Amino acid sequence: MIGRDGADFASNDYLGLADSAVLRGAVTAALARGVPIGSGGSRLLRGNHREHEALEAEAAAFFGRESALYFSSGYAANAALLGTLPQRGDLVLFDELVHASAHEGMKLGRAETRAVAHNDVAAFAAAIADWRRAGGAGRVWIAVESLYSMDGDIAPLAELAALAQGEEAILLVDEAHATGVYGPQGQGLAHALPPANLITLHTCGKALGCEGALVTGPAIVRDFLVNRGRAVIFSTAPSPLMAAAVRAALRIVAEGEGLRTALFDRIAAARQALAPLGVPPGESQVLPLILGDDVRTMAVAGALQAGGFDVRGIRPPTVPAGTARLRISITNNVDLADIAALAARLTELLGERSSTPL
């Protein structure tokens, strides 16, 4: 692990809220009104606090869902969702690039699981048909991300939702990298999907600048997780103080069109500057620059860090073999001059992808 030095091209603090004065003020105000730092127990013992309940009510309203449940992290939420909801006899189909936490949940669950080619709706449909022909009679669960954290591409959510509706399947959408950035008021990329068979996960530690995760969906899903989800029953509840901070963050992003406009201006500048170096076309704030070789990737990342640019190299097994990359994350913590300087330094290091010592 290395420290947090240099211009921020590595974090998921997309809107620049994590160290903002407005969130500091919200936490200070919460402390002043007596919100405790620790919960002291699980939600089912003495750990439940009115700040948790207020956050869940406000989050359900903000995301336009019937209910919400607050977890300590996105990892815990994904593990709880996929380890609790699908039952024996069901089938979980997951995009091959879905987050590691989803894999942990599937390991804990009792349903059959199958990987499906990335963002391939036809492959999801074929997998369901194959399973049904082989005698599968349970419920199908489709697990995807709305915006993939290592490739920066966006899932075909409307088509997946239509497939799920036609097959009476449940669509699980991890909105970790879209919450706060996309959709009306930052509600995410899944905000317009039919709600009946949709469960969404909104992490609070990325664009919201806080910590934890919110699972939103039908009230029956929340009730089932509260009564059967081991990550709820046997885990100390999240900090009530952090719940208060997330409440404030939701209000900020709801009124934060200026923050999103500033971010997308930076994204456009970065994509234009870095396209000649091999960053693929796209629109999101995650720009992968695939170098392939692990050693070269880490050498380039190290050279950038030494020059004041916090860019991290990503190697297998986080990404497939042969696709080691620089994961360049665009946030409001940098300005247009920082982006231009990064592009200039990368051009020096890579020689516009020609053969260099790095």
Alpha helices for the chain (secondary structure H) = 21-32, 50-63, 74-84, 100-108, 121-133, 157-166, 219-228, 230-233, 240-254, 257-274, 294-306, 336-350
Would you state the pLDDT for residue 30?
96
**What are the residue ranges spanned by the domains of the chain?**
7-18+257-350, 35-254
How far is it, in rounded angstroms, from Cα 230 to Cα 190? Answer: 27
CA 239 to chain centre: 20
Identity of residue 193: L
- Decide if 145 is catalytic: yes
CATH code given to domain 35-254? 3.40.640.10
**pTM score, two decimals?**
0.94
How far is it, in rounded angstroms, from Cα 303 to Cα 358? Answer: 9
- Decide if 12 is catalytic: yes
Would you state the pLDDT for residue 1?
72
Q: Buried b vs exposed e over 177-215: b needs ≥16 C-beta within 10 Å?
A: bbbbbbbebbbbbbbebebebbbbbbbbbbbbbbbbbbb
- Decide if 5 is catalytic: no
Q: Among the options 49, 177, 191, 202, which is catalytic?
A: 177
Would you state the pLDDT for residue 356?
45
- Decide if 191 is catalytic: no
CATH superfamily of 7-18+257-350: Aspartate Aminotransferase, domain 1 (3.90.1150.10)
- Decide if 149 is catalytic: yes
CB 327 within 8 A of CB 314: yes
Q: For the chain, which residues score pLDDT lower than 50?
A: 352-357
The end-to-end CA distance of the chain, in Å, is 22
Would you state the pLDDT for residue 4?
80
Would you state the pLDDT for residue 358?
58
Would you state the pLDDT for residue 5?
85
- Decide if 174 is catalytic: yes
Using CA atoms of 30, 33, 35, 36 in order, give the dihedral in degrees to the nearest 10: 110
Would you state the pLDDT for residue 355?
44
